[in-house]
Structure 1
Amino acid sequence: MLLRSLLLSALTIVLTACTGYQLGDVKPSKLSGVHNVSVPLFKNKTQEQRLAPLVTNSIVDEITRDGSYTISSDTLADATLNGTIETVEYRERRSDRFDSLRASEMYMRLIVHWKLVDSQNTVLMSGNETGVSYFTVESNQQLSRDNAFPDAAKNAAEKIVQSISSGF
């Protein structure tokens, strides 16, 4: 009798623990017909070199990792994800302990404008996402900044893909 009640309570817990969980696609309803996405090279409005391929590759990697869409060529795609890297902003996060005018850690903010369009160039979704990274200022500040770009690009890519795959 005790074993039976324990099994019944365990079964009840297991069945109610998954309440609200949804199997299958969770894509926004307006993107239900989109299965294949093309991602051309993003445009770069900043002065930072090699940033466009870095952000574009981060987007492709994140779409592949998410699994909601398949990456395909322009001719086979149901939609195209276009994007523009608008700005890169730098701010001091922490100053040097002995010299308050010298930064020891910086904050980088990468702003990307994106839009998902169908084959008739109708905008299905669009938005602006921000990728953030922190880096330590060393003797070669350019190298420190360059090393922080992949993290900021990945951060922005995660937000963009979350928007098109989950709707938020």
Structure 2
Amino acid sequence: MKALRHAPLIQLAWLPLVLVAITCVGGCAAYQFGSDAMFPVGIRTVHVPVVRNETFRHDLGVRLTDAIVDEITRRTPYVVTSDPNADSVLRCTVVGETKSVLTETRSDDPRALDVSISVRADWISRNGQPLMANAGTTGDSPTIGFSQSIRMVPEAGQSYATASQAAIEELAGRIVSQMEARW
């Protein structure tokens, strides 16, 4: 008999906990989950024109374009399109490429080299608003500079082609990472 009298009190004790839980869940309704939450909203398509190349290595622009498109497709919710009227445009320019000797043998053969590639990139919405933020720069320029160096050891069978491809893939990853929304 006493157990029946206390049953409503036990149910009332849970009521504040249930109300707090409902309030918390309702307050989080605007949050996004998954990888889509890491990128700016309102952008669904990205146009990536062929990367301009200001170096003497004629294939760097095309190879970087392919790497960027692959990285956007793999890591972002965006659709890469050939339509220049897409929601946004990601423009890149290869501005520098160097190969520096780090160590050499007694007969002046290179033993270890650094291959460096430098790129400028800007990501702009259809209405001209810059989408790529760089906390380290001031001014109105939406362009961000990227540089990547890869160590190459010819004696170990590494070539310029493999080192430059590794640098290109690293650059593509860094450029796409910069497309993430700022916290």
For the aligned pair, the TM-score class normalised by the smaller chain equals: 0.7 to 0.9
1:111 to partner: Cα distance: 0.7
- Cα distance in 1 for residues equivalent to 2:88 and 2:94: 20
1:75 to partner: Cα distance: 4.7
CA gap 1:166/1:108 in 2 versus in 1, 3 angstroms: farther
- Cα distance in 2 for residues equivalent to 1:80 and 1:47: 25
1:35 to partner: Cα distance: 1.6
Kept after mapping to 2: 8 A contact 1:109/1:133: yes
1:120 to partner: Cα distance: 3.0
- Cα distance in 2 for residues equivalent to 1:150 and 1:128: 19
Kept after mapping to 2: 8 A contact 1:131/1:154: no
Matches within 5 A, 1:28-47: 31-47=40-56
1:160 paired with 2:180, answer no
**What residue in structure 1 maps to residue 72 of structure 2?**
63
Matches within 5 A, 1:107-146: 107-125=114-132, 126-137=143-154, 144-146=159-161
**What residue in structure 1 maps to residue 20 of structure 2?**
none
1:151 to partner: Cα distance: 0.7
How many residues are treated as equivalent by the alignment? 140
Spell out, residue by residue over 1:1-29, the C-alpha distance to the aligned partner (whole angstroms, 9 max, x if none). Answer: xxxxxxxxxxxxxxxxxxxxx7233335x
- Provide TM-score, normalisation by structure 1: 0.72
1:124 to partner: Cα distance: 2.4
Structure with the larger strand share:
1
Kept after mapping to 2: 8 A contact 1:95/1:104: yes
Runs in 1 of length 4+ with deviation above 4 angstroms? none
> Can you give the 5+ residue segments of structure 1 that lack an aligned partner in the other structure?
1-21
- Cα distance in 2 for residues equivalent to 1:23 and 1:120: 27
**What residue in structure 2 maps to residue 82 of structure 1?**
91
- Cα distance in 1 for residues equivalent to 2:85 and 2:63: 24
Instruction: Work out the percentage of aligned pairs sharing the same amino acid.
Output: 26
1:23 paired with 2:11, answer no
**What residue in structure 1 maps to residue 3 of structure 2?**
none
> Can you give the 5+ residue segments of structure 2 that lack an aligned partner in the other structure?
1-31, 133-142
The correspondence for 1:102, drawn from 92, 106, 109, is 109
**What residue in structure 1 maps to residue 137 of structure 2?**
none
Amino acid of the residue matched to residue 178 of structure 2?
S
**What residue in structure 1 maps to residue 59 of structure 2?**
50
The structure number with the bigger radius of gyration is 2
- Cα distance in 2 for residues equivalent to 1:104 and 1:92: 8
1:33 to partner: Cα distance: 1.3
Kept after mapping to 2: 8 A contact 1:130/1:155: no
- Cα distance in 2 for residues equivalent to 1:94 and 1:112: 26
1:147 paired with 2:162, answer yes
